[in-house]
Amino acid sequence: MVRYKATIAYDGTNFQGFQRQPNGRTVQEEIEKTLTRMKNGQAVQIHGSGRTDAGVHALGQVIHFDFDERPLEKMRFGLDTQTPEDIAVKQVEIVDEHFHARYLVREKTYQFRVDIGKPRSPFRRYYASYYPYPLDLMKIQQALPDLLGTHDFTSFCATGSSVEDKVRTIHQASMEVNEAGDELLFTFRGDGFLYKMIRIMVGTLLKIGNGRLPADSIPAIIAQKDRNAAGPTAHPEGLYLVRVAYE
């Protein structure tokens, strides 16, 4: 038996999230079913770098599992072709037995896509969150740097989180507009993110862009340590886990 680290991508549209649960289709369940078939019915458990919610996508989710040693491309191809079409296995490597996909994460990068076109694109409805209201993008650009650094992000954490330490460090918070001017791409890179934190940050930034919050309001929102101080939670379909980095 060796430990495998795999980088996977998935379309979250038809999943109730990454983590196995009693009711609803999940990424973890589908991959474990495939590995169990590949191991002739012997149960195999996988561990992910973290959860993603229902409707959230991944380009670079990382998992680990223990399995009999096989040629790497044979293992990758077997997993990739036997999992459902909305999961892709991009890379497989053998790692040290002490590697853990969740506990050794150094930083994560997420992106969030917002469709601001008029009319909305029917082809983006599962892959970008739609925002139909006026936006001053300069105000959003002005507000983004205030998210950088180490802060207690309690105001940007949804209720239902069991995590007590809500201090996180954000290294990158940026926004780009596509050439057509009808889609925003936010990028956030940090040492970790709280429950629905990125979706709340995006919802807050859009509220700033819409003029319903001042452009300089983020430091005060952070200081209040109160979820009610921040903006709404943006819809899940715009969120992508892009990259997980390790020590």
DSSP 8-state assignment for residue 121: P
C-alpha closest to that of 180 among 242, 124, 138, 110: 124
State the sign of the Cα–Cα–Cα–Cα dihedral 55, 34, 89, 7: positive
Catalytic option among 53, 66, 86, 152: 53
Instruction: Quote the CA–CA distance of 10 and 22 in Å, as a whole number.
Output: 20
Q: Is 6 left (phi over 0), alpha (psi -120 to 50) or beta?
A: beta
Sign of CA dihedral 157, 162, 166, 170: negative
Cα(153)–Cα(30) distance, integer angstroms: 33
Strand 239-246 to 57-67 pairing = parallel
Q: Are 235 and 108 in contact (CB under 8 A)?
A: no
191 is catalytic: no
Q: What H or E segment, with its residue span, contains residue 77?
A: helix 72-82
Looking at the annotation, which residues are catalytic?
A: 53
